[in-house]
Amino acid sequence: MEASQSASAVLEGRALKFGDNISTDFITPGRYMHLRGNIAELAKHAMEDADPTFVQRVRPGDLVVAGKNLGMGSSREFAPLVLKLNGVAAIVAKSCARIFFRNSINQGLPVLICDTDRISEGDQLHADLKRGVLVNRTTGEEIAIGELPPVMLRILSEGGVKPFIQQHGSFRTLGEAEPEAGQAKDTAPRTLAEKILGEKAGKPVKAGDIVIIDVDLAFGHDASGPLAFREMEGMGLAKVAHPERTAAFLDHSVPSPRAELSREQQFLREMAWKNDVPVFDVGTGICHQIILEQFAVPGGVTIGTDSHTCTSGAMCDFGTGMGASDVAVALGTGQAWFRVPETIQVRLNGRMNKGVYAKDVVLELERRLGVDGATYKALEFIGELVPELTISERATFSNMAVEMGGKVGLFPSDEQTRTWMADYGRAEKWRPMQPDSGATYEATIDIDCSTLEPMVALPHQPDNVRPVSEVKGTPIHQIFIGTCTNARLDDLAVAARMLKGRRVHSHTRLLVVPASQGVMLEAMKRGYLQDLLEAGATIGIPSCAACFGMHMGVPADGENALSTQSRNFQGRMGNTEAFIYLSSPAVAAATAITGVITDPREVM
């Protein structure tokens, strides 16, 4: 990419209007992501699933206007980039998903938050960023614009993060708020997010503070890692600052189904080798699972080019997804800037009944919060159920924090954390970590897990949740048990126990993909894979597989797919004409037996 030009303080353009919850899968459809090494070609398909005529009708200076939660889903920075390459001058929305918001600013693309109900398709707009006002010249209305954080204003004023780093070399010149001389030490109780970021910053912090800190792990994968390395070099950062705190994963489109993807994967390998960065190659597993096994530590900070980096919060590791530009800075400097998030406390009480699992509980939370109810917030899980939840189960909760807009989903570090780390030979890195009593929370949500039944999310959003009793009998053509959400050993054990001695329904396909090579090997030793194979399942190599929508399980037009993944946006699995349902591995296994959505308690 060429360095961005400084953003203009005054914008004039035509409104191109879109609705709510436009995902990055719509802005940059997965079926074209093999073009990510040729961004000019990828840009020819921008917004294709939201408006097939977009590229033909967009003109330089136009403003994309949307409703709430624009850019939800994947962290792919290609989304704002292809809009900018098509001449879009600014984003105007009621609200934006956190990573998309930050990625847009990093690309030098202004983001104006305002009441877009007062704007119609084709309206002529005038925006004065200094005054914080947008004028709809067509209607004569003046609309107030939400104020950007000073850090983002600074980056935007210099044309984006690449020119900023080219000029300054790091984020340190952004500055941080320092305590006034003589000010008493702040001893207020802290949430887990405040504790972790404050410890890394070397001072007490509270929600809303900006900190610039060293990260414990920065990583990229084959979908966005190549862009991060290219951006690093484009910023003038000659090499990876801390190879020992960096990793490269090949997990999204593996084994490579296309020459274009093979070239990108080889570029990632070569950049990692050049910088002495460890490579977790094809078949090793999904980045988030390997991070749980080998990298995440209580009190650590992990960033990666994937929205589900929040999975490591299961181990009290502040994991959060970022775009390629932010990760590029972390690769080259070892640092990233963070806004300390407000925290929503989630109290999990009561025991889960037979047939109810972690996925069912987190789907209930998704139903309550919606896809944007935790935007830019931390979710912190406590309650009487928490000590009983394994790290594998906790990872399902933390993984789906981003599906509610969350920045991170944190569990305390306790005996379950120590047991997990000991199992992977890392017991010496364990330490306990709990939130302070009396910490300030933006909200508290209570879930009585003993009252829940198995849950299913219906197309086309993960918050479209219903009890299984309301949707059972729905025909399912393909079932996918896998992904960073539910492909760990206990997930495969549940499915294997239910399918042992039974057969997959003749009108249904069952794809099972373990989360990592370690999970796959242990599942082999315990006989789980044999039970699944004998039942008629197809076993894939450890990877993201069908979730990403590039290959290995793209459903046909009109087909219903039931998956244990975390999101079911239209087109997510590679076909906008298919319908994706989300469930636990238990519901998925029961459905595989009957061919229709089934309550697992009926076949256990």
Mean pLDDT along residues 545-556: 88
Provide the percentage of residues in the chain whose pLDDT is more than 90.
Answer: 88
Helix axis angle, 528-535 relative to 489-499, nearest 10°? 50
Q: Is pLDDT above 60 for 3?
A: no
**87 band by pLDDT with thresholds 50, 70 and 90:** very high
Cα 589 from Cα 357, distance rounded (Å):
13
Predicted confidence (pLDDT) per residue in 9-33, tens digit: 789 999 999 999 999 989 998 888 8
Contact 482, 512 (CB under 8 A): yes
Compute and round to an integer the Cα radius of gyration of the chain.
23
What per-residue confidence (pLDDT) applies to 74?
A: 86
Q: Is pLDDT above 60 for 307?
A: yes
Helices (H), 86-224: 98-106, 150-157, 161-168, 192-201
Q: Is pLDDT above 70 for 236?
A: yes
Q: How many residues does the chain have?
A: 604
Q: Is pLDDT above 80 for 479?
A: yes
Q: Which two tokens stand for residue 317?
A: 């590791």
What per-residue confidence (pLDDT) applies to 185?
A: 63
What per-residue confidence (pLDDT) applies to 176?
A: 60
What per-residue confidence (pLDDT) applies to 187?
A: 82
Residue 75's closest CA among 108, 97, 48? 97
Please give the order of strands across the beta sheet that includes 111-113. Answer: 111-113, 90-93, 63-66, 10-17, 124-128, 133-136, 141-144
Which run of H or of E encompasses 415?
helix 415-423
Mean pLDDT along residues 26-45: 91
Domains and CATH numbers, the chain: 10-159 (3.20.19.10), 190-339 (3.30.499.10), 343-451 (3.40.1060.10), 455-602 (3.30.499.10)
Q: Is pLDDT above 50 for 126?
A: yes
Is the alpha carbon torsion for 375, 331, 165, 318 positive or negative?
Answer: positive
Contacts of 481 (CB under 8 A, 6+ apart): 487, 491, 492, 495, 510, 511, 512, 513, 563, 564, 585, 588, 589
Mean pLDDT along residues 435-448: 96
Distances (CA, A) of 58 to 53, 120, 178: 9, 15, 45
Provide the percentage of residues in the chain whose pLDDT is more than 70.
Answer: 97
Residue 323's closest CA among 309, 305, 335, 337? 305
What's 21-60 look like in SS3? CCEHHHHCCHHHHHHCCCHHHHHHHCCCCCCCCHHHHCCC
Residue whose structure tokens are 């089934």: 598
CA atoms within 13 A on the CB side of 255: 2
Contact 379, 405 (CB under 8 A): no
Residue 328's closest CA among 350, 308, 303, 351? 303
Burial of 393 (0-12, 13-18, 19+ CB in 10 A): buried
What per-residue confidence (pLDDT) applies to 558?
A: 96
What per-residue confidence (pLDDT) applies to 550?
A: 80
Mean pLDDT along residues 404-420: 97
Residue whose structure tokens are 């238990």: 586
Q: Is pLDDT above 60 for 181?
A: no
Q: Which two tokens stand for residue 477?
A: 């053509």
Is the alpha carbon torsion for 38, 39, 40, 44 positive or negative?
Answer: positive
Residue type, 600: P
Q: Is pLDDT above 80 for 183?
A: no
**5 band by pLDDT with thresholds 50, 70 and 90:** very low
- Looking at the DSSP bridge assignments, the partners of residue 344 are 379, 443
Mean pLDDT estimate for the chain: 94
Question: What is the DSSP code (8-state) at residue 285?
Answer: B
What per-residue confidence (pLDDT) applies to 435?
A: 97
What per-residue confidence (pLDDT) applies to 8?
A: 62
What's 517-568 look like in SS3? HHHHHHHHHCCHHHHHHHHCCEECCCCCHHHHCCCCCCCCCCCEEEECCCCC
Q: Is pLDDT above 80 for 37?
A: yes
Buried b / exposed e over 439-476, threshold 16 CB at 10 Å, is bebeeebebebeebebbbbbbbbbbbbbbbeebbebeb
Residue 255's closest CA among 542, 553, 575, 548? 542
What per-residue confidence (pLDDT) applies to 178?
A: 54
In the chain, what's the furthest Cα-to-Cα distance?
A: 75
Q: Which two tokens stand for residue 550?
A: 């590039």
Please give the order of strands across the beta sheet that includes 443-448. Answer: 408-410, 378-382, 343-349, 443-448
Predicted confidence (pLDDT) per residue in 563-600, tens digit: 999 999 988 888 989 999 999 999 999 999 999 999 99
- Looking at the DSSP bridge assignments, the partners of residue 277 are none
Mean pLDDT along residues 475-487: 97
Residue 517's closest CA among 509, 525, 508? 525
Q: Which two tokens stand for residue 268?
A: 């990632």
Question: What is the DSSP code (8-state) at residue 5?
Answer: P
Q: Is pLDDT above 60 for 318?
A: yes
Q: E strands along 412-524, which residues?
A: 443-448, 455-457, 465-467, 478-481, 509-512
Cα 86 from Cα 104, distance rounded (Å):
14
Helix, strand, coil shares, percent, the chain, to 5 = 35, 20, 45
Cα 395 from Cα 316, distance rounded (Å):
10
Mean pLDDT along residues 171-194: 73
Mean pLDDT along residues 320-327: 97
What per-residue confidence (pLDDT) applies to 174?
A: 82
**504 band by pLDDT with thresholds 50, 70 and 90:** very high
Which run of H or of E encompasses 221?
strand 217-221
Taking phi over 0 as left and psi of -120 to 50 as alpha, with beta for the rest, 297 belongs to beta
